[in-house]
Amino acid sequence: MAVGRVGRPHGLDGSFYVTRPRARLLSLGTEVTVSGRTAAIVRRAGTERRPIVRLDGVEDREAAEVLRGCELAVDASHAPKLEEGEWWAHELEGCAVIDGERLLGTVTSMLELPSCEALEVLPPDGGAPLLIPMVKDAIRAVEPAARRIEVDSGFLDGTPPKPGAPPPDAGRAGEAPR
């Protein structure tokens, strides 16, 4: 499971910033794989949005620079257990997004926005991606095992609900983890 990418070095000891971080998976002692090798995080500093880490065996700025741009990954079995109605981004990527029988597109990624997380959905015709907020009013059901997410496109485009549609709180999915 990807937890970020090696960013620019920080200091002289081999520490570096992590770009696109999943900060809750970057704790001291966690074993990460980068560039084909596994190493433990031996230093964790910075903020949740801009974490700084140092890996065992990466001893200086030059060694950190060599890894710059490489993906950091952890074994999914080491990830914390999620609550009901929470999903990791990789579980939703590739899911079909539908409203009833209408295919709206396929999830390409999950984005962290200031107020919530949102699914980036590529329409089947290849047009501009849609952003679908991971909020109860927009999401009807999330079924990662079935590779599908049902949404209320009326909420997304501001049109009133269809006659006979379930009320806003009926069968809605929970928000994704923050």
| pTM (two decimals) | 0.60
User: For 153, phi and psi rounded to 5 degrees?
Assistant: -70, -20
122-157 pLDDT tens trace: 999 888 998 999 998 899 999 998 999 999 988 877
Beta bridge partners of 67: none
For residue 164, name the pLDDT band (cuts at 50, 70, 90): low
Domains within the chain, CATH numbers bracketed: 2-78 (2.40.30.60), 89-157 (2.30.30.240)
CA–CA separation, 72 and 6 (whole Å):
7
* Least confident range of 101-115, 142-156, 157-171: 157-171
Sheet with 117-122, edge to edge strand ranges:
130-133, 117-122, 102-112, 96-99, 148-151, 139-143
Judged against a pLDDT cut of 50, whether residue 40 lies above it is answered with yes
